[in-house]
Amino acid sequence: METMATVVRTKADYRSPNKPTWCPGCGDFAVLDALTRALASLNVDPAKLAVISGIGCSSRLPIFLNAYGFHSVHGRALPVATGVKLANPELTVLVVGGDGDGLAIGAGHTLHAARRNVDVTYIMMDNSIYGLTKGQASPTSQPLLKTGTTPFGNLDQPMNPVMLALAVGATFVARGFAARVEELAGLIQQGIEHRGFSFIHALSPCVTFNNTFKSLAERVTPLPADHDLTSRGAALQRAVEPGHLYLGVFYKVDKAGIYDRIQTITGGAEASRAELRRVMEQFA
Ligand SMILES: Cc1ncc(C[n+]2csc(CCOP(=O)(O)OP(=O)(O)O)c2C)c(N)n1
Ligand code: SF4
Ligand SMILES: [Mg+2]
């Protein structure tokens, strides 16, 4: 049996032979690199690792990893991941996908996986566009952005994924940026270590249809050192603070998840059955 001491891994050990098909310069390369760094730091056994995705450029990521993977249906990665984790709790389960995948067609699943506190790490690779389908507006596209579906400029307000995750009950919420790989790797590592639903908002620009590398680099700032990680109110305030796009861990608390609740119920049912058997034996 493998122990931490027996195998030492590097980030290369988590890469499959498949070469990424992303456009040169795509932010998703940096997310892949950060993820493999985090896995190597934690020395996760690839045989106990499952990475689930939806559909999109970002959702291709599991193909480039040495791990079990499931490239599912657009917007449906989280239900698949929930099933994988509940059936096989000893696996490390990661979910990757885009802003369209998790905030448009799959938005309902994002809310419910978070509120159930499913023990998976969800890395939302946000480029504020639909990359794979060649540049349509997404729920995080900036107002007035001209895209294939908004030729006169985007008329909608962007969603705030960090605020959303906090509001619906994620127990670990962080934001990182593809241009800061080491920092992003650290956030992913903490997310994997967290027991419960961890949400990592990874700003990962699409250089082909919405290249925001420069504008984001000018906006991002680290969360203040005195930020209280255990206060959801403080985290929400930081998430919506005007003029700030904070990077770092917004929130982290320990709470029972769906697996713990199932154990409690089934443990209770087993105790009732044992008591019933004891009573019935008196009449045997
Ligand atoms: C049910 C369904 N509806 C629509 C699509 C078409 N489609 C594929 S990917 C995608 C959006 C991709 O955007 P995002 O999730 O942000 O990923 P990105 O490519 O930007 O990484 C859409 C609309 C689909 N594959 N399946
Ligand atoms: S279209 Fe955009 S998101 Fe897709 S691979 Fe190219 S740069 Fe990346
Ligand atoms: Mg996208």
Does 47 reside within a domain?
A: yes
- Helix, strand or coil, per DSSP, at residue 224: coil
Mean pLDDT to the nearest integer, 197-211: 98
Give the tokens for residue 134.
Answer: 């060649």
Q: Give residues (CB < 6 A) around ligand 1.
A: 55-58, 74, 97-101, 105, 125, 127, 129-133, 138
Q: Give residues (CB < 6 A) around ligand 2.
A: 22-23, 26, 28, 57, 127, 131-132, 206-209
pLDDT tens-place string over residues 121-150: 999 999 999 999 999 999 999 999 999 999
Q: Looking at residue 151, what is its pLDDT? A: 97
Using 50, 70 and 90 to split pLDDT, how confident is the model at 2?
low
Looking at the fold, whether 203 and 263 belong to one and the same domain comes out as no
- Where in the chain does DSSP place strands (E)? 49-53, 68-71, 92-98, 121-126, 172-177, 198-203, 220-222, 245-252
111 alpha carbon – ligand 3 mean position (Å): 18
Looking at the fold, whether 260 and 126 belong to one and the same domain comes out as no
Looking at the fold, whether 273 and 237 belong to one and the same domain comes out as no
Per the structure, the count of domains in the chain is 2
- The C-alpha angle with vertex 39 and arms to 161 and 165, in degrees rounded to 5, equals 15
> 200: domain CATH number?
3.40.50.970
Using 50, 70 and 90 to split pLDDT, how confident is the model at 5?
low
pLDDT tens-place string over residues 258-283: 888 888 888 777 777 788 788 889 88
Does 200 reside within a domain?
A: yes
Pocket test for ligand 1, best of 22, 101, 110, 136 (most atoms within 8 A of CB): 101
C-beta separation of 117 from 171 below 8 A? yes
C-beta separation of 23 from 208 below 8 A? yes
Looking at the fold, whether 221 and 88 belong to one and the same domain comes out as yes
- The residue whose CA is least distant from atom 4 of ligand 1 is 74
Looking at the fold, whether 247 and 271 belong to one and the same domain comes out as no
Q: What is the pTM of this model?
A: 0.94
Mean pLDDT to the nearest integer, 188-216: 98
User: Which candidate, 155, 40, 45, places its Cα nearest to that of 92?
Assistant: 45
Residue 248 clears pLDDT 80, i.e. is over it: yes
Looking at the fold, whether 266 and 244 belong to one and the same domain comes out as no
138 alpha carbon – ligand 2 mean position (Å): 14
